[in-house]
Amino acid sequence: MFELTLLAKEAEVETLSDALMEIEALSVSVEDADADTEHEEALWGEPGMPVAREAWQRSTIKSLFPSEAEALEAATLILAQDWATDVHVQGIQEVGEQDWVRLTQSQFAPVPITDSFWIVPTWHEVPAAAKTVMRLDPGLAFGTGTHPTTRMCLKWIAQNAAALQDQLVLDYGCGSGILAIGAALHGSGVVDAVDIDPAAVEATVANAEANLGHLKALDGGLPVHAGLPDMVGEANGRYPVVLANILATPLRMLAPLLAGHVAAGGHLVLAGILARQEQELKDAYAEVGLRLQVANEEEGWILMTAQKQAHSVA
């Protein structure tokens, strides 16, 4: 395959990307042209929220073609367009044959959560130090243990296993099911794992079956029950432990719902929060009767926890 690299201004990126797909590029990716320089821009959004900008001020667009002739023809067609006056060809280069599966796998090594609790991809040997092991491969749903927010949640679970013993747990926004499975491996009772994305529910079911086949709930099934949010319905005050690793904006909006699901005396554990967002989360949950505190911090992300008072009715 051959990679065509173009440089474009923000205003041209969407049109350029569409045009490349129309002329049958195998793939199109957009990157910050100033990445790893002092002019690099942070550009990201949160689920359900409008994206402030579609691309960087100076964007690099890379597209793949089956042959050098097709890549050259694509560049020629693009530069002939009236709207492409600010588009520049950076080069065309051959992309060597690679074992893409092996390359992807090489990026995911075993992840230590504690000295004895590890997340291990299925293609790796289990480290000798690992006493509690979760087998998890990267997939369509978020959560492999490599992100600081996930690691901090799992570390909280491991360090607070006593509070989980035989308790009903809610994992809200379960993604791959990693937190739900982690709770079950550390002795919780049934975990209700919910997500708005059906693909996440499917991933959670598959990962739970792979990791928890040796554990059975009182009903004879797996200790992780996965479904869409309506699965938990109006179950206010039902869960001694509620976990939510999402992002700050949805966590803020969900404050009444999540607080309502925490049983009296129960624990709320929130992640997906940047350190600079600490106060806005504290303010949001104070309004529903919970006093959030920072329990951990890693790479600019924080883990926040609260315990509901036994007499609280929030």
- Encode pLDDT of 237-246 as tens digits: 899 999 999 9
| Tokens, residue 233 | 């319905």
User: For residue 46, is pLDDT > 60?
Assistant: no
What are the angstrom distances between the C-alpha of 78 and each of 24, 57, 67, 85, 237? Answer: 13, 19, 17, 10, 59
Q: Percentage of residues in the chain with pLDDT exceeding 70?
A: 88
Greater model confidence, 226 or 214 = 226
> Which of 243, 158, 138, 157 has its CA nearest to residue 195?
243
Cβ neighbours around 23 below 10 Å, total: 13
Q: Pick from 66, 87, 60: which is nearest to 23 by CA? A: 66
- pLDDT beyond 80 at 234: no
Spatial separation of the C-alpha atoms in residues 210 and 300, rounded to whole Å: 32
The identity of residue 219, as a single letter, is: D
Q: What is the mean pLDDT of the chain?
A: 88
Structure token digits, residue 193: 């794992």
Q: Is the pLDDT of residue 252 over 60?
A: yes
- Choose between 131 and 104: higher pLDDT: 131
Closest among 224, 227, 281 to 251, alpha carbons compared: 281
- pLDDT for 40 equals 72
Half-sphere exposure of 133 (CA within 13 A, CB side): 16
Name, in order, each residue with C-beta under 8 angstroms of 194's C-beta and a sequence gap of 6 or more. 170, 171, 172, 173, 174, 201, 226, 227, 228, 229, 231, 232
